Amino acid sequence: MHRKPRLAVFKFASCDGCQLSLLDCEDELLAVAGAVDIVHFLEATSRIEPGPYDIALVEGSITTPHDAERIQEVRRQSRFLMTIGACATAGGIQALKNWADHEDFLRCVYARPEFISTLETSTAIADHVAVDFELRGCPINRHQLIEVLMSLISGHKPRTATHSVCLDCKRRGTVCVEVAQGIPCIGPVTQAGCGAICPAYDRGCYGCFGPAAQPNCDSLTSQYLGTGSTRETLVPLLHNFNADAPAFRDAGNRLQQSDTPSSTGGRS
Amino acid sequence: MTESRSIRIEALTRVEGEGGLHIKLDGGMIEDVQLAIYEPPRFFEAFLRDRSLEEVPDITARICGICPVAYQMSAVHALEAALHVTITPEIRRMRRLLYCGEWIESHALHMHLLHAPDFFGVNSGIELAERFPNEVNRGLRLKKHGNELLEVLGGRAIHPINVAVGGFYRAPKRDELLRLIPDFEWGLQAAVATTRWVATLDFPDFERNYDMVALSHPNEYPMNEGQVASTSGLLIDVADYEGEFAEEHAAHSTALQSVRKSVNSCYHVGPLARVNLNFDRLSPLARRVADEIGFAPPCLNPFRAIIARGLEVIHAYEETLEILREYRPFKPPRVEYEYSAGEGCSATEAPRGLIYHRYAVNDDGKITFAKIVPPTSQNQRQIEDDLRDWLPDVMGDDDGQTALDCERLIRSYDPCISCSTHFLNLTVERTKS
């Protein structure tokens, strides 16, 4: 009989929501815990064992010099490294500081900035080490997490959707909030996985699963500019929880910098 | 001859976020106790500036995955105060319902998976389930109920998407909420059983003369509204919070530490403070169970906070059932408002205690200033103070056991270190002359 895979969960700059998703699998938690050997998961257990690990789940982004070193050690110890969530895959909401004056941010929040040691940027794990699989979302979808974990344990290639939220809206039978109500929605360029919840609650998608495969963000924003939306509304839709995902980052930057919106769409 | 010893524990576990504890002992004397939170700073108060006020509940939710509702609720109330928006009774009721969901999921998580293992010397809730399968499985079902309520009303459990300044994006459909009733009827009885169970745990004999701070409301158990009250007799409007409470920045922590200015001392926030200050406004069943298990205010033993959580879970189930049974879909789901420059603050009761937000907005609806004071920042100095008192009882020769005992006390607070700005790196330095 094969031994159980050794599972470790690591946290970097984040809100803990993605690792909590594992504890939120109330129906499956004890079964998952029976299928793997949880040897490092600070939020859930005081049992702490050294590597090597078969599967490492990494939550959070790299924002301090210490963490930039720590992720190297996690990588060295891990056979299969999967990043979970928008922080780990795109720098998270804290990547908004990549657009800002770091000194100004420090002074704004801390009375004694000299006590704080932090990098000027918040970056994805893949910017620092090789990543074997990325699970998107802010937060991740716990059903996807279970599916990927079980695929790994049984030796199959993990499969998660890369199509856009739009398709899931259609499946769910949600009337398009953009077409029917004129609400700017970035579902057409956002990866599915959340269940297309925002339009089902009468609001536009704000992109928490990051860019879908081959998104045409410029075409979408040009269309919205043509129907009355402003850059002021559209840039924050791209620059929020996945602000530093390249497709959202670059499209948001172009939109911010352009004086006159392209009326024909396409990449400028 | 001077002998100094130091040990390191790799991590403070079963808490949310990363922190360290540094203790210096000189023989039998405690020289220093520092709870060092080194969760990486994330700068929410900085990058909220220039964002549209509509984005604030979505962004502040991301401060914490375990208690996003607390951040959303404090934010929307503060912004509504800035905009002079008055919400409708229906919206107010739905916000209490959302808070009930968060209290249930967060308290059930803490009680069963984080805190209870300490009373049995096991590493995790998963290990605890081997010995107490019924209790842990029951706890997981309670937690699931809280999450399901958040999913229906908030769209999802972690970082709900349905919370807006002025109300909700969409009111729940009647059958979406009604179908939860059978589960919650079962859950109410299960919450009673859980509270009876945690009341039988073996609690250390340790009491402190706390100054406990919580919201207090004349006729309801406080969640979203009330005055700021303390067991030492303070009673002020939330608007005067910053006149009484201040944040200081210590070199050893990335989280700010709160103090009461007028007396220059620490204070205690959380479920124990809420129950002590609002015991007579707990639901009838919660009070009956408290009487039955012999829990009466004032309770000054921090380890017994797990019982206070149990009572609040019962309360949240009773209130949830009451709201669900009477629910009628309402319109409009949110109150309209116009942009105007202004400033507003609010305090609500996160599962871990009082949380305070203040924002300034301009004529374009953009944030110009944000201040967020989470519960763990407020408790941080109190925890250090507790440890100074607790250490003489537990600082035998075995550093490992001392460390475990300290962690156990810290965990009774359910500190959410991610919020306050994980990993407890415990160092004990012993100097023997």
Neighbours of B181 (CB within 10 A): 14
Over range B96-110, report the average pLDDT: 97
Burial zone of B262 (CB within 10 Å; 0-12 exposed, 13-18 middle, 19+ buried): exposed
Q: Does B230 touch chain A (CB under 8 A)?
A: no
pLDDT at B226 over 80: yes
- What pLDDT sits at residue B402? 86
Model confidence at A156, pLDDT cuts 50, 70, 90, reads confident
- What pLDDT sits at residue B248? 84
Over range B142-165, report the average pLDDT: 98
d(Cα B268, Cα B266) in Å, to the nearest integer?
7
Q: Please give the residue of chain B at the shortest CA–CA distance from A115.
A: B251
Coil, helix or strand at residue B321 = helix
Percent of the residues in chain B that have a pLDDT greater than 70, as a whole number: 92
Coil, helix or strand at residue B68 = helix
Residues of B in contact with A42 (CB under 8 A): 11-14, 422-423
Tokens linked to A216 = 């045409």
- What pLDDT sits at residue B426? 61
Record: contact A97-B250, CB cut-off 8 A:
no
pLDDT in tens, B344-362: 999 999 999 999 999 999 9
Contact B143, B134 (CB under 8 A): no
Q: Does B173 touch chain A (CB under 8 A)?
A: no
CATH number of B41-377: 1.10.645.10
Cis peptide before B332 (omega within 30 of 0): yes
Q: What angle is formed at CA B189 by the lines to CA B186 and CA B195, rounded to 5 degrees? A: 135
Tokens linked to B384 = 């250090």
For residues B18 and A24, the model is more confident at: A24
Contact B93, A169 (CB under 8 A): no
pLDDT at B403 over 60: yes
pLDDT at B212 over 50: yes
Q: Which helix (H) or strand (E) holds B152?
A: helix B133-154
Tell me the average pLDDT of chain B: 91
Neighbours of B170 (CB within 10 A): 17
ipTM for the assembly: 0.94
pLDDT at B228 over 80: yes
User: Lowest-pLDDT range, A30-34, A135-139, B7-11?
Assistant: B7-11
Most confident of B85-89, B376-380, B386-390: B85-89
Over range A89-106, report the average pLDDT: 93
Over range B59-69, report the average pLDDT: 94
Chain A interface disruption, residue of B9, B10, B12, B13, most A CBs within 10 A: B13
Residues of A in contact with B58 (CB under 8 A): 206, 240
pLDDT in tens, B162-197: 999 999 999 999 999 999 999 999 999 999 999 999
Over range A129-158, report the average pLDDT: 93
Tell me the average pLDDT of chain A: 92
Residues of A in contact with B249 (CB under 8 A): 110-112, 115
pLDDT at B420 over 80: no
Record: contact B158-A208, CB cut-off 8 A:
no
Global pTM exceeds 0.90:
yes
